[in-house]
Chain A
Amino acid sequence: MSNDDLTPREKEALEKLPKERKPNVDLEERLVRSLRAEGVLRRGMRPVVEFTWPRALAVVAASVLLLVGGFALGRWSGPQQSRLEDTTNIESSNISVAASLQRAGSAYVLALEHFTAMPEGSADADEMRQGREVAIKTLSTATDKVARFVPKRDLAGQLLDVISAGGGTAPKDTTHTGKTGVFWF
């Protein structure tokens, strides 16, 4: 054998040397960080999704389903929203009427106080009675309107009952009973 040639055993020994070596686990992360810093890699890139017909059909089907679902949801939720807005308007209107009624009641109570405060004989008894009747009638009419506008509200009905019980005249019953009552608001 010359020095320039390998024996078959030598050749085999050299060729059988392992060609691969497992890298340290940190090396990959170190390298990725370096490549990010170099601007070669971008963080958070999603893997590319290969185009296939089943995948494309699934995407189209999902899109159609989303469109139809959105349309159906809109059709269903539109009227629901309108109803909600109507209810809100009614509530708002009720509050406004109740406020007006409260103001009218307060004015009535004030008028009664004035009547009470009037010295005896300062006015004719008939004039006082007429004034009281006008006030009660005004309050009854207002309450009656509330009862017609919001029939389910108990407040108006209770007021009418109180007015009737207290000697006021209901709108349909205008006959004078001669009783005197005080209304509290």
Chain B
Amino acid sequence: METQPAFVGTDNDLADAVLERGSETAFRELYRRHTPRLLGFVTRLLARSDAEAEDVVQETWIRVCKGLGDFRWNSAFSTWLLGIGLNVVRDVIRRNTRHPTLELDSVAPQPVPPIRHDDRIDLERGIQMLPDRYRMVLVLHDVEGIKHAEIARRLEIPEGTSKSHLAKARKQLRASLSGGEIEGDRS
């Protein structure tokens, strides 16, 4: 892997360097700062294979770079990045829904983490098994801490729908976990 000296600067400086000069160094720094968070976010939302999650990350960065000129910096760069990541995840899920063959693929056995007596792993698996629309609302609300109004805006659904999806998601998650209660790592 190519290693280059770190580009010292704020996200805004880095984005300017990418936008104005096509600076690869600046992009790599921006990528290294934000990709772990983006990958964690899309992996949980998408609940598909690692390869598909990485494809989403790649598509997200390409959209981000092309849209850098339109970003007004009214919010943090990371917020904007995750927002675009969410849009790409939605596109992938929609695409899978439209095409039966892809739907079959998506319904096919998903990568299951190794069985361990670890509550956190059980919780991850429980989230992963939720239907797409429930899982997205639960992750955005309960894991990411986003309010229903914002979720409704982001997912282009009524706020009431967001709340009902969340209720159903929690119910299913509790049911999937052995104790009937959502429990994480107690350590």
Over the window 22-37 of chain A, the binary record of Cβ atoms lying under 8 Å from chain B Cβ atoms (1 yes, 0 no) is 1111111111101110
Tell me whether B89 is interfacial, beta carbon within 8 Å. no
Nearest residue, chain B, Cβ from A9: B183
On whether the beta carbons of B58 and A31 are closer than 8 Å, the reply is yes
Tell me whether A19 is interfacial, beta carbon within 8 Å. yes
Tell me whether B105 is interfacial, beta carbon within 8 Å. no
On whether the beta carbons of A47 and B23 are closer than 8 Å, the reply is yes
Chain B CB within 10 A, most for which of A6, A21, A27, A34: A21
Contact of A41 among B7, B27, B50, B167 (CB under 8 A): B27
Q: Give the residues from 130 to 148 in chain B that come closer than 8 angstroms, CB to CB, to chain A.
A: 142-143, 145
On whether the beta carbons of A35 and B27 are closer than 8 Å, the reply is yes
Q: Which residues of B contact A154 (CB under 8 A)?
A: none
Q: Which residues of B contact A47 (CB under 8 A)?
A: 4-5, 7, 23, 25-26
Known contacts A21-B43, A43-B24, A45-B23; A35/B183 CB under 8 A: no
Contact of B170 among A6, A20, A43 (CB under 8 A): A6
Tell me whether B92 is interfacial, beta carbon within 8 Å. no
Known contacts A24-B50, A42-B22, A45-B24; A10/B40 CB under 8 A: no
Nearest residue, chain A, Cβ from B39: A21
State how many angstroms separate the Cβ of A38 from the closest Cβ of chain B: 7
Determine the main DSSP class of A at the interface with B: loop
On whether the beta carbons of B40 and A21 are closer than 8 Å, the reply is yes
Known contacts A4-B167, A13-B182, A32-B28; A27/B57 CB under 8 A: yes
Measured in the bound complex, the distance between the Cα atoms of B54 and A83 in whole Å is 72
Q: Which residues of A contact B5 (CB under 8 A)?
A: 47
Nearest residue, chain B, Cβ from A29: B1
Measured in the bound complex, the distance between the Cα atoms of B182 and A28 in whole Å is 35
On whether the beta carbons of B142 and A20 are closer than 8 Å, the reply is no
State how many angstroms separate the Cβ of A15 from the closest Cβ of chain B: 7
Q: Which residues of B contact A125 (CB under 8 A)?
A: none
Over the window 20-40 of chain B, the binary record of Cβ atoms lying under 8 Å from chain A Cβ atoms (1 yes, 0 no) is 011111111001100111011
Q: Which residues of A contact B119 (CB under 8 A)?
A: 13
Q: Which residues of A contact B150 (CB under 8 A)?
A: none
State how many angstroms separate the Cβ of B78 from the closest Cβ of chain A: 11
Q: A34-B58, A48-B9 are in contact. List 17 more A-B contacts (CB 8 A).
A: A3-B167, A13-B183, A14-B123, A15-B142, A15-B143, A19-B40, A23-B36, A26-B1, A28-B32, A38-B66, A39-B22, A41-B22, A41-B65, A42-B23, A43-B24, A45-B24, A47-B4
| 19 pairs, A vs B, C-beta closer than 8 Å | A3-B174, A6-B142, A13-B184, A13-B185, A16-B184, A16-B185, A17-B120, A21-B40, A24-B50, A26-B1, A32-B2, A35-B61, A36-B24, A40-B66, A41-B18, A44-B24, A46-B25, A47-B7, A48-B7
Q: Which 10 A-B pairs have the closest CB atoms?
A: A13-B184, A42-B22, A20-B36, A10-B182, A21-B40, A14-B142, A45-B23, A21-B39, A20-B40, A40-B65
